[in-house]
A = this chain, B = another copy of it.
Amino acid sequence: MEKKMKKPCMGRQKIPIAKITNKSHLQVTFSKRRTGLFKKASELTTLCGVQIGIIVFLFSPANKAFSFGHPDVDSIIHRFLSSNPQLHSGANRLIEAHRNANIRELNMELTQVVNELELERKRGKVLDEMRKASRKQCWWEAPIDELGLYELHQLRMAMEDLKTS
């Protein structure tokens, strides 16, 4: 009863980057992160003297659009649309063909491949760690509850590596 009376607060917890199902959590998180995103954008604008436009569409609970812009969203959009009149040199028919493939599909494919890559990297990393550990001794042969703190730490680390993004 000396130091750790009770836990005042869990503090920030790690959350998986996946759709938040709890409506109220989502609302709070959206609000906070949107603010944070705009703040980051604002800082980038000031620090680097760049112009930024951000548009955010929220579809639930109510459809609503938020935006941030320096100098303002409209001018950014206008500039953006005007800046790339055409990079469409006649060389790439493949690109033309892909247009029908829809960007969203490409994005999904890219995302999936990136995920696979991440998985492979982590798998390799964990295997590396295990291999390294196995040189010492086969501590994992013993029941979990008999493991020393160090070994538990190692195991934990391996797990963390596996799931850390």
Q: Which residues of B contact A97 (CB under 8 A)?
A: 84-88
* Bound form: Cα–Cα A68–B123 in Å: 29
Are A65 and B87 in contact, with the CB atoms below 8 A?
no
Give the contact-size bracket for chain A: 35 or more
**Known interface pairs A48-B26, A124-B124; A18-B114 also in contact (CB < 8 Å):** no
Query: Does more than half of chain A's interface fall in helix, strand or loop, or is it mixed?
Result: helix
Give the number of copies in the complex: 2
* Bound form: Cα–Cα A107–B76 in Å: 15
* Bound form: Cα–Cα A51–B57 in Å: 5
Q: Separation in Å of the A6 CB from the closest CB of chain B?
A: 22
Q: Separation in Å of the A58 CB from the closest CB of chain B?
A: 5
Q: Which residue of B lies closest to A50 (CB)?
A: B58
Are A162 and B115 in contact, with the CB atoms below 8 A?
yes
